[in-house]
Structure 1
Amino acid sequence: MTTLQIPYTKIEIKGSQVFMLSALIVNAGNYIYNLLLGRILGPEAFADAAILVTFLLILSFMAMTLQLSVAKFTGSFNNKKKDTLLRYSRKWSLLVGSFLGVFIIILAGNLQEWFNTSSAHMFRIFGMGVPIYFLMSVNRGYFQGKQEFIKLSITYQGEMFSRLFLTLAFILILPFQSSELVSLGILISLLPGMLPYKKIRANLLPDINSKELSHLKKFMMVTAFYELSQVLINNGDILLVKHFFDAHSAGLYSSMALIGRAVYFVAWMFVMLLLPEVVKRQKEGKNTQKVFGKYLGMISILVVSVVLINVLFPRLIIEILFGSAYMEVAGILWKYALASSLFALANVFVYYFLSLDKYLPVIISAIFGVLQLTVIAVEHSSLEAVVEAQIFVMGVLLILQTGYFLYKNNPFPIKQSYSHFDHH
């Protein structure tokens, strides 16, 4: 694990600590980016911008399949096989990314109609960036797996800062629709996110044997399945609200979602550190439950604090972050924060078991992702009804994930009937 020495001192900071600090800065920068868009554009235009941001989040979850797979197997392969894995993953990331990007470009007109946006070009510009994003995620997975957290931090910083400053400059200077400029900012920001770029120097690299390749493919398939559930749970509500409600209501909901989801994205920083540490401990034959308990405890303190703040100061939070134009959702802000908190906690269990090659929690999460969308599609009489549906679904999901953890770690010798879902 790399360290960073503070100039003119003997103080060294661990790479994981640098990454945590970097992730805080990146999350803060992304928040500022969204808040400024909300204030500059107003609820109606912000609804279009929020769709692009949501598409970016969906893309990040899909690309996370590649990143987590590369991270997991980079951590377990020897040095030369790490480069083989990187080359293999880059080839497939470009193929899959190009296919998905072309698919988005072709369907741009349909996407405009479904989401009631002002432009179809915003989707076409976005589609051009998909292959780059997938390639960038493979690069990040390599650094994550090797626990080179300083280099990993640089890739996130480059993407965030360039998107923040370029998008604002475009909106203030260029005479085009704001949604198209937001999409252009997202596209260009992916290029700095590719740096530092890991070069593969060796010409003759060892092959990945059939057993390793089979394990890799299985892990990728399960991870992709899980990331799909993440897409459904984390972003499906915004997409459905944009479809079922008018632009003003969709903009209000998007602002509330941005505030309420702060807890999830902060919790994500801990999860990023959890996965490689669990894989490493498992490989060394060490206990993994203690490190899981540590991260779960930290995230639990975080989510309770966030929900409490949203209960006590909802109007103040909205006034500071978005302004009085968004005050209509102040009364249900804490409910959205609660729904996000329940999901964040359930997510910790899933990533823990995923790193141990136990896949039943992934299936459970995917089922509840579909269930959440179904409930919202049936009951969307108001924004509050949409939020309350999520609280119910995520609450049950957390209970099931906790129950599965207790079952797998039961000190009593009960036969475990779920073993056929798990790879040992």
Structure 2
Amino acid sequence: MFEKIKEIIFKVLENRVVSGSLVMVIGGFLISLTNYFYHLITARTLGPRDYGTLDSLVSLLTQISIPLAVVSMVIIRYVSSFKGQERTKTIESFFWKINKRLLFLTPPLLILVFLVTPLVTNFLHLSSPFLFLWIGLSFVFGIFISVGKSFIQGLCRFLPLTIVGIAEGIFRLLLTIILIAWGWGLFGAIVPFFAMTVLSLVLTLILVRDLLFGERNEPIPEKKEIFTFTLPVFFNNIGVTSLITTDVILARHFLSATDAGFYAALSTLSKIIYFAAVPVVGVIFPLISEAQAAKENVKKIIFPGLLIIGLIVGSALIVFGFFPKLMILLLFGEKYFFIEPFIIYFALAMSFYTFDVAFLNIFLAQKMATPIFFVCLAALLQIILITLFHQSIGQIVNIFVFISSLLFALLLLYYFRSEKS
């Protein structure tokens, strides 16, 4: 009996979706654990007002990182495709060509960060321009990290990728604890982002050392195709990023500082669902791309991936539904109990959003660009609705529930229609 169970377990683990997802989910859990303690410490020591400022800056960093996410997804798509075709020299040359171009972009980006700092400081009512400046510098130097990690993920090296993420999280957490203990306040939560960027750059360069000393002049016939693919990826990332960041930024702008802090806490808490499941998306995207390049059946990747995501999301919803106060207490403390009535609704919205991201990645891995229109429309509609209706936290939460569920319905319908055709 034991041998039979053991045989079944090993057979399941032979599935690349399952094994890759297991590594990424466990790693994602450990990374989320460091994020949990980071938010626990910052939320409790800074209070709702300063924590709201912190979360709005983090949301802004996510938004200005959209170009990085675009480049990342394009790299993963084509590196995994080249891997499926066993074109190692093309991958090495691709690595050098991209980094060479990005080097020329660095000085103009640094100048741009300094120019927009006063504008951002005024819009977000920041107490010091240096709060955004640290975030801006993290973005600029994070470009090369994003490229390196994308090659690692495209090559399906999930374990080293996860190790880097865990190291980043632990380092940021420890530095935040030290700086806040020294009395740095909000700066104690912001400066570690830049310090983490420096550490991550070093670790990433170590992991891509084989590419650093690889072929540099191998021609890439798909150059025009890669550029064309960038456009739908760009709009996709604008849409999906906007959906979970614009609400926090607009809440910061329209609501009182305290209510904006409560909304930021609500958003952070519910994102646990997304961050628990999104590692699976990071696994199935390159695997689908690789399978398609090798002319294999992609359904054997899609279905297990969606099933694993469903199990994670379903389990999280049960926890959020039955133990909302416990979740608040564990992360933020009693002074955030005000958000309890909204948790299950936001968790439901985040569950829909997680599936939205999964389906969009499935479509892009197969070069299906039409659904991108849906997510861009949803993001625009969210901005319009929040701008019109922002009298309370509840109104903004209801808008997110409506938008994420509507997008899910549209993407699901499109998937079934594409399967029939």
Q: Does the TM-score normalized on the shorter chain lie above 0.5?
A: yes
d(CA) in 2 for partners of 1:98 and 1:370? 32
Change (3 A) 1:157 1:98: farther
- Which residue does the alignment assign to 1:9? none
Whether contact under 8 Å (1:101, 1:130) holds in the other structure is no
1:221 aligns with 2:228: no
After superposition, what is the alpha-carbon deviation per residue over 1:10-53, rounded to whole angstroms, capped at 9, x for unaligned?
xx996664333222211221122112110111111111111222
SS of the residue aligned with 1:334? Answer: helix
Residue in 2 that maps onto 1:120: 129
**CA separation in 2, counterparts of 1:377 and 1:93?**
36
Counterpart of 1:36?
A: 41
Task: After superposition, give the CA deviation of every residue in 1:298-343 in whole Å (9 maximum; x if it has no partner).
Answer: 2122223322322222222212221111111111111111111111
Report SS of the residue matched to 1:107. Answer: helix
Among candidates 357, 360, 374, match of residue 370 of structure 2: 360
Give the number of the structure with larger relative contact order, counting CA–CA contacts within 8 Å between residues 6 or more apart: 2
Say whether residues 1:311 and 2:324 are aligned partners: no
Provide the rounded CA distance (Å) in 2 between the counterparts of 1:218 and 1:308.
42
| Pair 1:391–1:110, CA change in 2 (3 A) | same
One-letter code of the match for 2:354? A
- Provide the C-alpha distance between the structure 1 equivalents of 2:214 and 2:303, rounded to a whole number of angstroms: 41
**Is 2:265 the partner of 1:258?**
no
The equivalent of 1:149 in structure 2 is 158
Aligned residue runs from structure 1 range 72-91, under 5 A: 72-77=77-82, 78-91=87-100
Between the two proteins, the alignment pairs up a number of residues equal to: 396
Q: Which letter maps to 1:145? A: G
**Alignment pair present for 1:188 and 2:195:** yes
Does the Cα contact within 8 Å between 1:119 and 1:179 map onto a contact in 2? no
Q: Which residue matches 1:138? A: 147
Partner amino acid for 1:79?
A: T
CA offset at residue 76 of structure 1? 2.4
Give the structure with the larger helix fraction: 2
Counterpart pick for 1:162 among 164, 171, 174? 171
Specify the alignment match of 1:419 in structure 2.
none
1:169-211: per-residue Cα shift (whole Å, max 9, x none)?
11111x54x33332211001012212141232246521223xx
Equivalent residue, structure 2, for 1:406: 416
Task: Label 1:93 to 1:35 Cα distance change in 2 as closer, same or farther (>3 A).
Answer: farther
Equivalent position SS for 1:360: coil
Distance in 2 between the 1:15 and 1:256 partners?
Answer: 30
Contiguous gaps of at least 5 residues in structure 2: 1-12
Within the candidate set 292, 300, 321, 1:290 is matched to 300
Q: 1:55 to 1:69 in 2, by over 3 A?
A: same
Partner of 2:58: 53
- The question of 1:301 aligning with 2:308 is answered no
Question: What is the alpha-carbon distance in structure 1 between the residues aligned to residue 323 and residue 23 of structure 2?
Answer: 31
SS in 2 for 1:36: helix
Q: CA deviation at 1:374?
A: 1.1
Which among 68, 73, 80 is matched to residue 73 of structure 2? 68
Percent of matched pairs sharing the same residue: 22
Aligned equivalents of 1:48 and 1:104: distance in 2? 19
One-letter amino acid of the counterpart of residue 201, structure 1: F
Aligned: 1:268 with 2:278? yes
CA contact (8 A) 1:380 1:386 kept: yes
SS in 2 for 1:261: helix
Question: How high is the TM-score relative to the length of structure 1?
Answer: 0.88
When residues 119 and 301 of structure 1 are mapped into structure 2, their CA distance, relative to the original with a 3 A threshold, is: same
> Where in structure 2 are the equivalents of 1:2-21 lying within 5 Å?
17-21=22-26
Q: What is the CA–CA distance in structure 2 between the aligned matches of 1:181 and 1:102, rounded to whole Å? A: 25
Question: Which string of whole-angstrom CA distances, capped at 9 and with x for unpartnered residues, describes residues 353-377 of structure 1?
Answer: 1000001112211111111111111
- AA matched with 1:345: F
Question: 1:19–1:301: structure 2 CA closer, same or farther, 3 Å change rule?
Answer: closer
**What RMSD over aligned residues (CA atoms) do the two structures have, in Å?**
2.0
Which of 167, 179, 186 is the aligned partner of 1:179?
Answer: 186
Equivalent-residue separation in structure 1 for 2:218 and 2:362 (angstroms): 30
